[in-house]
Amino acid sequence: MRHVATGDRNAYDRCIFQVLDHTGRALLVAGLGVYPNTGVIDAYATLRLGDRLLAVRASDALGEDRMSLAVGPFRITVEEPLKRFRLRCDPGEGSEGPEGGGEGSLSYDLTWTADFPAVWEPHHTQRRGDRLILEGRRFVQAGHVTGVIRADGTDLPVTAEQWTGIRDRSWGTRPIPGEEGGRAAEEARPEGFHWIWSPVRFADRFLVVIAQEDADGYRTLNEALLVRDGHRDTQLGWPRTEIAYRPGTRHPERAVVHLDAPPSGSSGHGSKPLELHVETLTSSPLAVGAGYPPADDWQHGTWRGRGWSERRVYDLSDPSAHPLAAYGVTDHAARFTLEGRTGYGIFEHGSFGRHDPSGFTGYADTAPGAPGATGEERP
């Protein structure tokens, strides 16, 4: 959009792609966003390999051609709308960090192809005091990916049989760093926040589960939608999730999502409630490398000057080295089972502060077991 229908500095329009290996070896998260009222375009990519996270970021002045999805080494080409996209990150040197082909380097050339139609997510709003600080519209889609990722000088072939692709597109207003929050930011701080966003691709169906809850468990966002080729979308009611956290953390290792029975007469389904079983394979904290809050080195929409780019390598083997990651959302590549079917997708989760249904009493509280990774109050 060249002109947006608001003067709010926080107006944004962006996309995210998750590309995951079914064995849990690798998880690529990449996105691009434009911020028309601050005149910024930026993009990022992170690749989780073992205990290392390779990251590339770029930012520039937003130009007049809004059809050009390109910044720094990143290019997104819409080859067929809502169906096929080419994603590229060229090798090259950032303002700091590894160059194109050596240790810690990251580049890719991928084709993302949809297997299911894009589906709307619920209209998302959030307030701080009386002010509307977030209003977003989103759609989500699942598909397969082919091409190559080059990391640490080694090629990772990406095949349709062994990799899954998820993508999400959103626009509206969402906080950009740098704005003074005033009294509301000081006196209306949330006690807690609990979030699940889980799109799952099976061979013959696509399932989306979304839940956002306040500290007392009050649900402010809810979705459970099953999509089958040739059939109408099927709503599965009010998802209820049991999460098994790693002791001493809020890192989900397994989960069971209880879903309502499909409506009577839905094609190919019985009438009993469904259980979606989740096993996380590898994880990418979005506050490390990818620019999501509360990242302390770079966040989306911030002006870094013209032609800025950066390449970084993060060591994720020691959680205490990245304490803010515990207060941000994490994308978990996961294996899912549903009625004997196996699928793959993302179990995106964040739980901060008090959450009564989970038994968490505050920001320093973690699952029973070893001491928490941070033991700190919220930032």
pLDDT in tens, 318-356: 888 999 999 999 999 999 999 999 999 999 999 999 999
Q: What is the pLDDT of residue 372?
A: 46
Query: Which pLDDT tens digit goes with each residue over 160-200?
Result: 999 999 999 999 999 999 888 888 888 888 899 999 999 99
Q: What is the pLDDT of residue 319?
A: 84
Helix, strand or coil, per DSSP, at residue 19: strand
Claim: this prediction has a pTM higher than 0.85: yes
Exposure on the CB side of residue 320, measured as CA atoms within 13 A: 7
Distances (CA, A) of 222 to 16, 62, 168, 264: 21, 34, 17, 21
Q: Is the alpha carbon torsion for 294, 253, 18, 338 positive or negative?
A: negative
User: What percent of the chain is modeled with pLDDT above 90?
Assistant: 81
Is the preceding omega at residue 285 within 30 degrees of 0, hence cis? no
pLDDT class for 99, splitting at 50, 70, 90? Answer: low
249, 280 contact by CB (below 8 A): no
User: Please, what is the average pLDDT of the chain?
Assistant: 92
All domains of the chain, ordered by start, with CATH? 11-175+191-316+324-358 (2.40.370.10)
Antiparallel, parallel or unpaired: β 131-151 and 124-128: antiparallel
Helix, strand or coil, per DSSP, at residue 327: helix
Antiparallel, parallel or unpaired: β 252-259 and 274-285: antiparallel
Tokens 């901060």 belong to which residue?
Answer: 352
97, 150 contact by CB (below 8 A): no
Region 354-379 average pLDDT: 75
